[in-house]
A = this chain, B = another copy of it.
Amino acid sequence: MPYFDDLQVGQRGELGSFTFTAELIKAFASQFDPQPFHLDEDEGRKSLFGGLAASGWHVGAVGMKLLVAKRRRETEAAEAKGISDPPAGPSPGFRELKWLKPVLAGDTLTYSSEIVSLRESASKPEWGIMQARTTATNQRGELVYSFIGIAFMPRRI
């Protein structure tokens, strides 16, 4: 978790990979998105998805899970060097979320993110505002998911 002042537009990072098993797809869907094509293989095959498909909200939440795990690894690496990382800022939202292809049972997604804009906050001088595009590709290299997240990042002050 670097400071805003250390970031550059175009910086890319891999967040990690995750396999959407049938069991995990059904467990998420039964709690938050219990539509037939997210819960049952036969219903999935009959749907436009063509198979048991993960809820789009599941695909999004897993991206958050991988981002938080990456930040934790970075914080621990910094602490091992005696450096104290600044705390993460909140996110006011995001833009242009796209579910481009179905995520079917057994698919493994690899998530990465790239900084697309950086600007100072007019009202909060201790924070900068970062926009970063997070994408996920499946095991065939197909882009399946994309959004532009917005986050407050701490400044060196």
Residues of A within 8 A of B (CB): 31-35, 47-49, 55-57, 60-62, 64-65, 68, 72, 87-100, 102, 147
A-B contact pairs, 14 of them (CB 8 A): A31-B61, A31-B65, A32-B61, A32-B62, A33-B61, A34-B65, A34-B72, A55-B64, A56-B91, A56-B93, A57-B61, A60-B60, A90-B102, A95-B96
Residue of B nearest to A55 (CB): B64
Residue of B31, B56, B64, B94 touching A33 (CB-CB under 8 A): B64
Min C-beta distance of A148 to chain B, whole Å = 10
Q: Which residues of B contact A55 (CB under 8 A)?
A: 64
Determine chain A's interface SS by DSSP, over half rule.
Answer: mixed
Q: Which of chain B's residues have a CB closer than 8 A to the CB of A147?
A: 93
Q: Return the chain B residue nearest A38 by Cβ.
A: B68
Judging by beta carbons under 8 Å apart, are B56 and A57 in contact? no
A35 to B87 Cα, complex, angstroms: 10
State which of B31, B32, B34, B68 has its C-beta within 8 Å of the C-beta of A35: B68
Inter-chain contacts of A92 with B (CB < 8 A): 98-100
CB-based nearest B residue for A31: B65
Contact, CB under 8 Å: B99 / A48:
no
Residues of B within 8 A of A34 (CB): 65, 68, 72
Additional pairs, 19, CB under 8 Å, beyond known A34-B72, A93-B97, A93-B99? A31-B65, A32-B61, A32-B62, A33-B61, A33-B68, A34-B65, A34-B68, A48-B90, A49-B90, A55-B64, A60-B60, A61-B61, A90-B99, A90-B102, A92-B99, A92-B100, A95-B95, A95-B96, A95-B97
